């Protein structure tokens, strides 16, 4: 999930303080104005907060509009909080089929989060009752097998990119986390770190993807795959240097890689737009 700018976090904190002080109407008014302002580019958390306040008053259709009519949106531009709220709103307005599809997507990308898994299980909708769950025993067994052949992990991750399977991906992710650090002094360490970053990105866990990518770049400073991955997530100075800085360094090392040059240019434009917003 993209990091909030300081002013965005301040506005959300202010809205939350208003609600806690019993001034929900004022919080709703301010959030509505923010979300309606096309130049402000209100973040997903603001839309979720507004939809929550509207839904609390029974304004389900207006709440759905606040989320951008989720039944018409590409689910891949939603974060987990938005998808949870949207699923509930779709159910409340009688769109069970759309809610079921969105909940299945939510489980696919965020089912490793216990809160999301519980939410989907509580829906008890047809087609969602037998979604796969990660089995720790299976992950431990897979980890034991991978310790003797860590070189196959990147191929397993690539297969998940082509044909993702929730249970397999979650189990593989858990297994690789168990084995990665014993290989720190070997040539397998960097590919394992890159695999963890890629799997985190596949399930929509941006924080984990960023963390593993920076760790991988500490081990392999010119890893093009990890540099490109960082270009797709927001920066967090507490975790590592800005993506633009990393992309610049790696693109200078590999001037003949057009993907790196393009990613660096796009990231510069993204950062500039965010600063001027």
Q: What structural domains does the chain harbor?
A: 6-123 (1.25.40.10), 136-276 (1.25.40.10)
Give the pLDDT score at 89: 75
Give the pLDDT score at 72: 56
- Cα separations (Å) of 143 from 130, 179, 181? 25, 6, 12
pLDDT digits (tens, 9 = 90+) for 235-268: 988 889 999 999 999 999 999 888 999 999 999 9
Residue with tokens 């300081």: 6
Give the pLDDT score at 1: 47
Give pTM, 2 decimals. Answer: 0.53
Q: State the Cα–Cα distance between residues 235 and 163, nearest whole angstrom.
A: 29
Q: State the Cα–Cα distance between residues 184 and 192, nearest whole angstrom.
A: 10
Total Cβ atoms within 10 A of residue 239: 14
Give the pLDDT score at 134: 47
- For each of the chain's 277 residues, which pLDDT tens digit applies? 456 788 888 898 898 888 888 888 898 999 999 988 888 788 878 888 888 788 777 777 787 788 776 555 555 556 777 777 777 777 777 777 777 777 777 776 676 677 777 777 766 555 554 455 545 677 888 899 999 999 999 999 988 888 777 778 888 898 999 999 999 999 999 999 999 999 999 888 888 899 999 999 999 999 999 999 999 999 988 889 999 999 999 999 999 888 999 999 999 998 888 888 6
- Cα separations (Å) of 54 from 51, 115, 161, 240? 5, 23, 38, 38
For the residues of 134-203, what is the DSSP string, one character each?
A: --HHHHHHHHHHHTT-GGGHHHHHHHHHHS--HHHHHHHHHHHHHHTGGGTTSTTHHHHHHHHHHHHHHT
């Amino acid at each position: 999930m993209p990091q909030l700018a300081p002013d965005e976090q301040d506005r959300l904190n202010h809205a939350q303080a208003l609600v806690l002080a019993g001034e929900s109407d004022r919080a709703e008014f301010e959030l509505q104005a923010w979300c309606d302002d096309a130049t402000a580019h209100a973040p997903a958390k603001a839309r979720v907060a507004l939809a929550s306040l509207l839904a609390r008053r029974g304004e389900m259709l207006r709440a759905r509009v606040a989320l951008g009519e989720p039944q018409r949106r590409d689910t891949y531009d939603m974060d987990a909080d938005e998808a949870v709220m949207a699923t509930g709103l779709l159910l409340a307005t009688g769109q069970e089929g759309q809610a079921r599809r969105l909940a299945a997507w939510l489980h696919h990308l965020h089912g490793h989060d216990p809160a999301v898994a519980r939410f989907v299980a509580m829906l008890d909708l047809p087609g969602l009752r037998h979604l796969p769950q990660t089995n720790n025993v299976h992950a431990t067994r897979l980890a034991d097998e991978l310790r003797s052949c860590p070189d196959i992990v990147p191929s397993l991750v690539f297969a998940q990119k082509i044909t993702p399977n929730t249970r397999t991906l979650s189990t593989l992710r858990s297994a690789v986390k168990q084995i990665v650090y014993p290989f720190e002094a070997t040539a397998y360490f960097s590919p394992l770190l890159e695999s963890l970053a890629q799997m985190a990105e596949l399930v929509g866990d941006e924080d984990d993807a960023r963390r593993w990518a920076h760790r991988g770049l500490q081990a392999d400073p010119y890893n093009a795959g990890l540099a490109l991955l960082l270009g797709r997530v927001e920066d967090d100075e507490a975790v590592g240097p800005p993506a633009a800085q990393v992309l610049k360094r790696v693109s200078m090392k590999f001037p003949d890689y057009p993907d790196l040059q393009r990613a660096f240019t796009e990231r510069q434009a993204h950062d500039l737009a965010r600063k001027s917003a």
